[in-house]
A = this chain, B = another copy of it.
Amino acid sequence: MSTKSKYAILGGGSWATALAKILTDNGHHIQWWMRDEKNIALFKLRKHNPHYVSNIRFDMDKISFSNKIEAVIEAANVIIIAIPSAYVVGSLQALPENVFVGKKIISAIKGIIPPDNFLLNHFLKEKFKMTSDQYGLVAGPCHAEEVASEKLSYLTFSASNKEDAAQYSTDFATDYIKTIVNTDVKGVQYAAVLKNIYAVGAGIAHGLDYGDNFMSVYIAGAADEMASFLRKVAWLDEVKEKHNYAASVYLGDLLVTCYSLHSRNRRFGNYLGKGYSVKAAQLEMNMVAEGYNASKGIFEINKTIGATMPIATSIYKILWENETAQDAFDDIEKVLV
């Protein structure tokens, strides 16, 4: 990637908006696809996203908006996909098979793609013949709200192509963003999915009125379970490189998602712990927390991987099998050490 990266962002949520702020703060002109023309019009009028992290004000000269997704991809050479995982297939499936040829892709997705429980790179390979060296991803720990207020945050860029990861790392580094390069493309994606499940559980525990002592034991157990899943995946793939699962992109992301009040997954879980049904909690939040579908996806995937995951399984049972929150946590209490 010797020429300057020309970025496109697909998606109009809070994470997409935070990434747009970082890039435009760094002087990049970006192409930005949002589905809804009305939102684009409102954005242009108000100079901020009307629905998400609306305290971020943008220099409109640095953004080309469009609701034509193919045109947006066409105009850029690095495509950031920041669409909620449940809407990825719907958003991309009408595109021609060669639309990503010659493009780099950065996944900013923190979920598994239904109905096949694919990671984004898997989906893009199947559907668009994308090759591994086209693909990278950006991960936190990074709640968009703190990017909005320019609180120092760390982003990790992971790609099998190290030069690409290094380039993204340079393009996104600002005085309030420090960037890290990593090569564990599969593990980082799974970690980003898993942490949302455990964060739903942390919210449930909080809603059930467990205290700080228990929460710390629960989250330590989640960290251990997550690392054992990631080790199992790496082992099955015969990955030789050892990754440090205490690094920010694994443990740090788990911590911020479980502990921060910005966490939507934690908030969703909190409703469940307080006795709301899954449906009622989703209605109350007016969104589907990523951890909800993730718990089902990981439950299915783990039938193949075979990691020992009693915590994630208990959360799954609450979300998908009508087990009461307290019954499931009675089981979790027993496996924590």
A138-168 toward B: CB 8 Å interface, digit per residue (1/0)?
0011110010010111100000000000000
Q: Are B220 and A246 in contact (CB under 8 A)?
A: yes
Of residues 216 to 241 in A, which have CB atoms within 8 Å of B's CB atoms? 216-217, 219-221, 223-224, 227
Chain B residues whose C-beta falls within 8 Å of the C-beta of A152 in the assembled complex: 210-211, 213-214, 333
Chain B residues whose C-beta falls within 8 Å of the C-beta of A214 in the assembled complex: 151-154
Q: Are A246 and B262 in contact (CB under 8 A)?
A: no
Distance of A5 from chain B, by nearest CB (Å): 23
Chain B residues whose C-beta falls within 8 Å of the C-beta of A142 in the assembled complex: 213
Q: Are B262 and A212 in contact (CB under 8 A)?
A: yes
Smallest CB gap from A245: residue in B: B246
Q: Are A212 and B143 in contact (CB under 8 A)?
A: yes
Chain B residues whose C-beta falls within 8 Å of the C-beta of A146 in the assembled complex: 211-213
Smallest CB gap from A246: residue in B: B224
In-complex Cβ contact of A217 among B209, B252, B259 (8 A): B252
Check if A248 is an interface residue, CB within 8 A of chain B.
yes
Chain B residues whose C-beta falls within 8 Å of the C-beta of A220 in the assembled complex: 246-248, 250-252, 255
Q: Are A337 and B213 in contact (CB under 8 A)?
A: no
Check if A336 is an interface residue, CB within 8 A of chain B.
yes
The contact size tier of chain A is 35 or more
Chain B residues whose C-beta falls within 8 Å of the C-beta of A210 in the assembled complex: 151-152
Chain B residues whose C-beta falls within 8 Å of the C-beta of A250 in the assembled complex: 220
Check if A244 is an interface residue, CB within 8 A of chain B.
yes
Q: Are B247 and A337 in contact (CB under 8 A)?
A: yes
Chain B residues whose C-beta falls within 8 Å of the C-beta of A261 in the assembled complex: 212
Chain B residues whose C-beta falls within 8 Å of the C-beta of A260 in the assembled complex: 212-213, 216
Distance of A239 from chain B, by nearest CB (Å): 19
29 A-B contacts (beta carbon < 8 Å): A141-B213, A141-B216, A141-B217, A146-B212, A151-B210, A151-B211, A151-B212, A152-B211, A152-B214, A152-B333, A153-B211, A153-B213, A154-B213, A212-B261, A213-B256, A216-B248, A216-B252, A216-B260, A217-B252, A219-B252, A220-B246, A220-B251, A220-B252, A224-B244, A224-B246, A224-B251, A227-B246, A247-B337, A255-B255
Interface residues of A (CB under 8 A from B): 140-143, 146, 149, 151-154, 178, 180, 209-217, 219-221, 223-224, 227, 244, 246-248, 250-253, 255-256, 259-262, 333, 336-337
